[in-house]
Amino acid sequence: MLKSIILCTFLLFTIACSSSKQHISDVNVEYVRASEIYDHEGPSKIQEMIIPYKTEMESEMGLILGYLPEDLIKDRPNSNMGNWFADALLEMSNKYDNQNVDIAIQNYGGLRIPFLAKGEITKGNIYELMPFDNKLIVLDLNATLLQRLLDEIANSGGWPISQGLNFKIDNGKAVAIKFNEMDLDINKTYRVAMPDYIANGGGDCDFLIEIEQKHSGTYIRDVIIEYLSDLKNQNREITIDKSKRIF
Amino acid sequence: MINQNESFNMERRRFLNQSIKGSLLLASAKFPFKAFTDDPNISKLTILHTNDVHSRIEPFPMDGGRNQGLGGAVRRAQMIQDIRTEEENVLLFDSGDIFQGTPYFNMFGGELEIKLMSKMKYDASTMGNHDFDAGVDGFDKQLVHANFPFLVSNYDFSDTILDSKIKKHQIFQLDDLKIGVTGVGIELHSLVPDSLTKGTRYLNPIVHAERQAKYLKDDEGCDYVICLSHLGYEYRNDKVSDIHLAQNTENIDLILGGHTHTFMSKPDIRRNKKGNELIISQAGWAGILLGRVDILFEKNKKNRCISCKNAFIK
């Protein structure tokens, strides 16, 4: 008896369902911050899954590479993080290329963390800062192409550039460009270090694709790791130039 | 003296946390779900969503940064589990860029990220540009760990290893609700090197998302259509965004977005091509937020809804 009532209800329900329409009656949307107030006591299956990976990761990435004298903060058009990064790329590309590199550039979006705390800096920090498999390469650019690249940088609000290069952003263009306090020389070729991502046309830099690349063959994060170990070996401290480069 | 200050700060922090929790409870209390629970014509659907988690397995370190202590897979899993305990009809989605951002990805290629999503019982995800960072073959390698489908309507993978492994839509039947889900991905040129996309072709996202949405609504009779999007919420230039997607389609009800790492305090309500309202929502990045969309559906034979409000969202 009970069974047949249930069956009836089920049939009625199915028939009703086939001829009826679902209306959206009410909607509520919220964004719940994943903070510690949601933490439960006790071990969890998820934690158990993570532990073996975490242990292996930390033994590899926990290596302390140096001591950061101040917080690095990412910003545009200028920031201490951007200055430090571009200057390190310039120093290292000169190490690889017999002191012939003039300028180093890093696309803003390529730096992946907004903040790096003062204190011990680990290999893992550098992986988070620059996780991509981008290699450091060098391009020879005439003044026209360099202007075009700097226009692109200006148009996107400014990227990290190395010490010695300055310009002003005016209506999405790079103006008043100075390299070592001199105007750009139309007859000169500038040697510019950058991630292969940019040289291969990323970041709307399609105009660089055709230009011959000199590869260091080294991932940018490994370049920075090598830079930090060089400092350590030479008993040099990490220094951060805070000069304003883009106006 | 110093100790007093510290204890004051701790108290203050506790108070702030309490008030965040308090306001959330208040928000859900405003929503009159309880009144309808006995009505057989009313169904409730809870949609949870993340985007751009970027390999953030652990919470941000306590280093004084703006995001310190936030996020983390263990906590997210607990939050999701708590909601599943309270709610009957829960769907959980991600809008891409699962990969890249911590050494977990560099060392293990995304294996842990996908395993954790499977464990949390994600129902579907779309692909972000960074999900190509180990190449289509690197992504393919991790698919064995996924017990949920990847949905992308506008990437043609037919010349790649991912051919027929990425779906264009998925249908979920919950209670008497039929929910259709599709996905849409961003233009890959200038974001991802060709050496990683390996012949993946990008197709018009509006045309292809709408094609799937129309199929889900008209041919499959879905009550509600969701598009998981990695297009990005909004741009200063005319690059195609979720706002374009919303305004130029007719059959999508909810866009769960990503790519631009947008923290929303409330969802964006837009009108589609037919003038009907739809929702765009995005939940920041790195698992700092869990987006939650609760929808009440009223089922009736008349083409009229009794409990429906004229205002879509307060």
Secondary structure, 3-state, chain B: CHHHHHHHHHHHHHHHHHHHHHHHHHHHHHCCHHHHCCCCCEEEEEEEEECCCCCCCCCCCCCCCCCCCCCCHHHHHHHHHHHHHHCCCEEEEECCCCCCCCHHHHHHCCHHHHHHHHHCCCCEECCCHHHHCCHHHHHHHHHHHCCCCEECCCEECCCCCCCCCCECEEEEEECCEEEEEEEECCCCCCCCCHHHHCCCEECCHHHHHHHHHHHHHHHCCCCEEEEEECCCCCCCCCCCCHHHHHHCCCCCCEEECCCCCCECCCCEEEECCCCCEEEEECECCCCCEEEEEEEEEEEECCCCCCCCCCCCCC
In this structure, is the dihedral angle defined by the CA atoms of residues B120, B97, B239 and B171, taken in order, positive or negative? negative
Residue (of A25, A195, A4, A187) closest to A93 by Cα position: A195
Give the pairing of strands A119-122 and A64-68.
antiparallel
Q: What is the CATH number of the domain that holds B86?
A: 3.60.21.10
Residue B11 is predicted with a pLDDT of 37
Read off the pLDDT of each residue in A215-238 and give the average, rounded to a whole number: 94
Read off the pLDDT of each residue in B3-21 and give the average, rounded to a whole number: 37
Residue B7 is predicted with a pLDDT of 36
**Is A5 a residue whose pLDDT tops 60?**
no
Which is higher by pLDDT, A50 or B5?
A: A50
For all residues of chain B together, what is the average pLDDT? 88
- Per-residue pLDDT tens for B261-284? 999 999 999 999 999 999 999 999
For all residues of chain A together, what is the average pLDDT? 90
For residue B152, the Cα-to-chain-centroid distance in whole angstroms is: 13
Confidence band, pLDDT 50/70/90 cuts, at residue A99: confident
Domain hosting B243: range is: 4-312
Q: Is B153 on the interface with A (CB under 8 A)?
A: no
Residue B37 is predicted with a pLDDT of 58
List the single residue in B with minimal CA-CA distance to A33: B289
Residue B309 is predicted with a pLDDT of 61
Q: How far is CA B265 from CA A32, B80, B269, B284, in A?
A: 10, 20, 13, 10
Read off the pLDDT of each residue in A137-154 and give the average, rounded to a whole number: 96
List the single residue in B with minimal CA-CA distance to A58: B103
- From chain B, the residues in CB contact with A39 under 8 A are 74-75, 78
Structure tokens at B197: 């996309």
Confidence band, pLDDT 50/70/90 cuts, at residue A160: very high
Residue B40 is predicted with a pLDDT of 83
Confidence band, pLDDT 50/70/90 cuts, at residue A16: very low
Residues 246-305 in B contacting A (C-alpha not used; CB under 8 Å): 253, 263-267, 279, 281, 283-284, 287-301, 303-305
CB-based contact B193 A57, cutoff 8 Å? no
Structure tokens at A137: 């390469």
Which is higher by pLDDT, A4 or A61?
A: A61
What is the C-alpha separation between B67 and B285, in angstroms, rounded? 11
Read off the pLDDT of each residue in B289-313 and give the average, rounded to a whole number: 77
Say which amino acid occupies A156. S
**Which DSSP category does A44 fall into?**
-
Read off the pLDDT of each residue in B130-155 and give the average, rounded to a whole number: 98
Q: In chain A, what are the domain boundaries?
A: 2-17+28-61, 65-233
Residue A97 is predicted with a pLDDT of 83
Indicate the range of A164-168, A242-246, B174-178 predicted with least confidence. Answer: B174-178
- Per-residue pLDDT tens for B181-233? 999 999 999 899 899 999 999 999 999 999 999 999 999 999 999 999 999 99
The three-point CA angle B113-B116-B122 to 5° equals: 105
Q: Are B108 and A71 in contact (CB under 8 A)?
A: no
Residue B226 is predicted with a pLDDT of 98
What is the C-alpha separation between A183 and A177, in angstroms, rounded? 6
**Global confidence as pTM:** 0.86
Say which amino acid occupies B233. Y
CB-based contact A202 B120, cutoff 8 Å? no
Token pair 């988690």 is found at B53
Report the domain count for chain B.
1
CB-based contact B292 A57, cutoff 8 Å? no
Residue B33 is predicted with a pLDDT of 52
How close A153 gets to chain B, by Cα (Å)? Answer: 15
Q: Is B16 on the interface with A (CB under 8 A)?
A: no
Residue A226 is predicted with a pLDDT of 97
- Secondary structure (3-state) at A179: strand
Residue B313 is predicted with a pLDDT of 46
Q: How many CB atoms lie within 10 A of CB A73?
A: 14
Read off the pLDDT of each residue in B4-31 and give the average, rounded to a whole number: 37
Q: How many CB atoms lie within 10 A of CB A125?
A: 24
Q: Does the predicted interface ipTM exceed a cut of 0.95?
A: no
Residue B36 is predicted with a pLDDT of 55
For residue A144, the Cα-to-chain-centroid distance in whole angstroms is: 27
**Is A182 a residue whose pLDDT tops 50?**
yes
Residue B120 is predicted with a pLDDT of 97
- Per-residue pLDDT tens for B141-152? 999 999 999 999
Read off the pLDDT of each residue in A128-141 and give the average, rounded to a whole number: 94
Give the pairing of strands B254-256 and B177-184.
unpaired
**Is B57 a residue whose pLDDT tops 90?**
yes
What is the C-alpha separation between A176 and A161, in angstroms, rounded? 15
CB-based contact B106 A197, cutoff 8 Å? no
In chain A, the percentage of residues whose pLDDT exceeds 70 is 91
Confidence band, pLDDT 50/70/90 cuts, at residue A18: very low
- From chain A, the residues in CB contact with B108 under 8 A are 53, 57
Count of CA atoms in the C-beta half-sphere (13 A) of B28? 16
Q: Are A124 and A154 in contact (CB under 8 A)?
A: no
Dihedral, CA atoms, B23, B24, B30, B34, nearest 10 degrees?
-140
Give the number of residues written for chain B: 314
What is the C-alpha separation between B143 and B120, in angstroms, rounded? 16
Note if the bond before A77 is cis, omega within 30 degrees: yes
Q: Is B104 on the interface with A (CB under 8 A)?
A: yes
List the single residue in A with minimal CA-CA distance to B99: A131
Q: Are B212 and B255 in contact (CB under 8 A)?
A: no
What is the C-alpha separation between A224 and A135, in angstroms, rounded? 11
CB-based contact B79 A38, cutoff 8 Å? yes
> H or E stretch including A174?
strand A173-179
Give the number of residues written for chain A: 247
Residue B167 is predicted with a pLDDT of 98
Confidence band, pLDDT 50/70/90 cuts, at residue A42: low
- From chain A, the residues in CB contact with B74 under 8 A are 39, 44, 46-47, 50
Read off the pLDDT of each residue in A185-213 and give the average, rounded to a whole number: 94
Residue (of B220, B280, B222, B219) closest to B249 by Cα position: B280
Q: Report the CATH number of the A65-233 domain.
A: 3.90.780.10
How close A182 gets to chain B, by Cα (Å)? Answer: 33
